[in-house]
Structure 1
Amino acid sequence: MIWSVIRAATALLLSASCAFAQNSTPPVSEPCAAIRASLNPDLDEQAEKLNKQAADLKARIAPLNEGAEKDALDKELKDIQGKLLDLVFARECIRSDMTIQVFRGPSDPPTKWIEITTYFATNRQATGSSVPEKFFGPERSKDNENENQFGKTVVSIPTARRAGELNLPSLWKLEVNPDPAKHFVFKQVIPLDTAAATAEMAKIIGQSTKKSLLVFVHGYNVSFADAALRTAQLAHDLSFPGTAVFYSWPSLATTQGYWHDEETVQLSEDAFDAFLDNIAGLGASEVFLIAHSMGNRLVTTVLRDRAAKGKTIPNLRELLLAAPDVNAEIFREKIIPGLAAIDVHRTIYASSSDVALRASKIVHDYRRVGETTDGVLTFKGYETVDASKAAPAVRAFGHSYVVDSTKVLGDIADTLSLHFTADQRSLPKQGTPPDIWWVLK
């Protein structure tokens, strides 16, 4: 019973589509309140037992070859790791040191909401529904697995909000229908064939002052609707002076879908490579690529493979790797050498407040590039920014700080608009050469 309650509540908080409308950040998030009410307080003891069980199972599995016994033990280990994933998020709800970030924003402008149009490409299968939130599902396209569906989305954003907030109707507040003056509203999905979409984007880019293109690639546990809302929010909160497009690979959009998402992101590499070919010809004078969470695996792997083939993205100016859910050793040994030939400024945003990446480490045993719990990882040719002190801990368990934190958004805006390095952005420097990183406070 406890695990079903934890799963339901954590999935509610982790999903961007269940973000809560609020006038100010509550002292305890409402899903956390539900978790607290249902939990046995001895979470550390439960975690210790589960970790011991997992270690014992790994030791039993190690000498085995393929067969029924190994399959059964693998299944048992995966179940225990799933419980540990839930428990990691649940434990965060009873922390006594959890702090609340105080946002500051402009006074309410005269208009109550504005509409933001962003473009998209996806290898998701269309469901046949005309409802924007249900237009694309979690399955890969069955027509051509390496072909993308292009189009554009329309999202209305309330103007009386603080940067970083993604306000949606809250069941906890009995809000059933979205109010555009209070909530983000996913208004429309407009499918376009590849030629029409790229022609539209190229035309808009050609007419803009800076001819800029922002590309966003989401991570684990994200639906198509989540990606559309977040991209619109990013474009708006960054005051991006160009065209924004997001790539949505078929995440299952559930907390327990981690293993499914890992395999799906690998299966999406060819489709994402084709997408990069399409945007390479748009005529943008500067391209900014932002990857989040597990989306970093898709971006870095495909960029590495493209570099090996001599394929480029013209005028790629910034590569921002936000909360990268990437094995740190694989990143150091395989990704960095593979990307060395690409001339681009590289930034990594990492945080010790990122509970989702700590959970990922439970599944894999290896440190992730984006977590700093055991110290900040530095990589040659990359500027690592420790955003621990700027990352809100009460939304999505610190994992979505790249779009939630006004400070992180401001730092990204300076990077994109001014092309400033971390030193030029006057961020405090830590460490000793060559292991230098910067701190966002």
Structure 2
Amino acid sequence: MLSAALALSACGGEQRSLLLTASEKQGDAVGKLRIFVATTREAADLPQYFNGERGPKLAFAKLDITVPRAHKTGELELPDIGAAADPAKHFAVVDVNRLDLPPIVAEVKREIQRRPASERDVLVFVHGYNTNFADAAYRFAQIIYDSGFKGVPVLFTWPSRGQLLQYPYDRESAFYSRDFLEANLHAISRDLGTTRIDILAHSMGTLLTLEAVRQAAIRGDGSFGGKLRDIILAAPDVDLDVFRTQMRQIKRPVTVFVSADDRALAFSRRFAGDKTRLGAISAKDTEIVAELGKLGARIIDLSEISTDDRLNHAKFASSPKIVQLIGRRLDADRGIAIAGPRFGDKLGDIAGGVVGAVGSTVELVVTAPGALIAR
């Protein structure tokens, strides 16, 4: 398992950075996205901007990233590390600005106010373990574009060193960042004029997210002024026992994407005392699913979905149907609420199973993998 993971993941050496692409080449791209950044990372020299060490306070930035004309939904087209991006073929960074607090607040306010009232929502993305700043930014750009999200995207990036064997450091960095994420969510809900906040968290970022929301709930404002709507946990690297205790304090619904064939979570389980990770359960774990449903967890099983992700850890972003589904549900007034086959006209919206809590009962809808292809 360790040798396979080392072969499939970055384990040191040169890391991806945000090399700027000349502005005159932007015409080769199909579109441009603006992402706002809040981070607990330490500032670094260009083109890294922020490294994997822990900063003493929140820092901020904004990024402009173009989407290549050759882009295919669910794919993240990037140049080789250290090579210049071709905007016709790759996601490309065309502008990066590190900002202090007053300028970033003013910028985000302008972005929100220039949108119609129905689109004044903020999507906060919290990345996972083994992810540097550049990789987090590129992945979020792909998710924004493929999901069709129309609001304002905010990347909360925490001090992951982006190295496979730095799992213990990354985990402690997630805990280090929970107060900062909580404060950032309060600021977004209170100071920016947003209508609502959705959170999409991946892998170890789900632990950070759950801890921040749990703290806020204990302090008496787990809804962040009534603005927090969806919490979506993708491939959560969270101990099942810990998740149960968190949900008893959070006391609100969360949506969880799981996959029994997640190889990254099988690897992280070795660092976690051989305890089952939340993201590695499936619809077959009926007793666990029923128990978690009573706590407010709505489970979506992606075990039967195949993607080009060899670790099966990023299916939520690399499956075209799933990332588009997330976008459709974020765009809907009721969010990504799951209750039986209500994603669309056909159960084929998700292959492999949907588990949704309906009151005190649990519904399980199992669909054939071929149904996804047939749509």
Superposed pair shares fold, TM > 0.5? yes
Distance in 2, matches of 1:306 and 1:284, equals: 19
Question: Match for 1:213 among 105, 111, 122?
Answer: 122
- Segments of structure 2 that go 5 or more residues without pairing to the other structure are 17-26, 348-352, 370-375
8 Å CA contact 2:282–2:303 kept in 1: the answer is: no
Distance in 1, matches of 2:72 and 2:12, equals: 20
8 Å CA contact 1:324–1:350 kept in 2: the answer is: yes
Normalised to the residue count of structure 1, the TM-score between the two structures is: 0.69
Question: Match for 1:233 among 142, 155, 167?
Answer: 142
Give 1:411-422 correspondences, 5 Å limit: 411-418=325-332, 419=335, 421-422=337-338
**2:199 equivalent in structure 1:** 289
The question of 1:386 aligning with 2:301 is answered yes
8 Å CA contact 1:322–1:349 kept in 2: the answer is: yes
Distance in 1, matches of 2:220 and 2:211, equals: 14
Per the TM alignment, residue 350 of structure 1 is displaced from its structure 2 partner at its CA by 0.3
**2:176 equivalent in structure 1:** 267
The question of 1:399 aligning with 2:313 is answered yes
Distance in 2, matches of 1:367 and 1:152, equals: 37
1:416 maps to a residue whose letter is L
**2:109 equivalent in structure 1:** 202
**2:46 equivalent in structure 1:** 130
**2:7 equivalent in structure 1:** 9
Q: Deviations over 1:68-124 (max 9, x none)?
A: xxxxxxxxxxxxxxxxxxxxxxxxxxxxxxxxxxxxxxxxxx964322110000011
**2:23 equivalent in structure 1:** none
Distance in 2, matches of 1:253 and 1:122, equals: 15
Coordinate RMSD, CA, aligned: 2.8
| Structure showing greater Rg | 1
Normalised to the residue count of structure 2, the TM-score between the two structures is: 0.81
Give 1:72-87 correspondences, 5 Å limit: none
SS in 2 for 1:415: helix
Per the TM alignment, residue 283 of structure 1 is displaced from its structure 2 partner at its CA by 1.8
Q: Deviations over 1:6-29 (max 9, x none)?
A: 6763224999x77xxxxxxxxxxx
8 Å CA contact 2:300–2:355 kept in 1: the answer is: no
Which structure: greater helix fraction?
Answer: 1
Per the TM alignment, residue 214 of structure 1 is displaced from its structure 2 partner at its CA by 0.7
**1:49 equivalent in structure 2:** none
8 Å CA contact 1:346–1:382 kept in 2: the answer is: yes
8 Å CA contact 1:429–1:439 kept in 2: the answer is: yes
8 Å CA contact 1:220–1:253 kept in 2: the answer is: yes
Per the TM alignment, residue 186 of structure 1 is displaced from its structure 2 partner at its CA by 2.6
1:407 maps to a residue whose letter is K
1:156 maps to a residue whose letter is T
**2:235 equivalent in structure 1:** 323
Distance in 2, matches of 1:236 and 1:212, equals: 16
1:182 maps to a residue whose letter is K
Per the TM alignment, residue 317 of structure 1 is displaced from its structure 2 partner at its CA by 1.5
1:425 maps to a residue whose letter is F
Distance in 1, matches of 2:8 and 2:270, equals: 17
SS in 2 for 1:388: coil
Distance in 2, matches of 1:259 and 1:11, equals: 16
Q: Number of aligned residue pairs: give it.
A: 332
The question of 1:224 aligning with 2:133 is answered yes
Distance in 1, matches of 2:259 and 2:265, equals: 9
The question of 1:304 aligning with 2:304 is answered no
2:177 maps to a residue whose letter is S
8 Å CA contact 2:147–2:328 kept in 1: the answer is: no
Percentage identity across paired residues of the two chains: 31
SS in 1 for 2:279: coil
The question of 1:368 aligning with 2:277 is answered yes
**1:140 equivalent in structure 2:** 54
Per the TM alignment, residue 387 of structure 1 is displaced from its structure 2 partner at its CA by 1.0
8 Å CA contact 2:258–2:282 kept in 1: the answer is: no
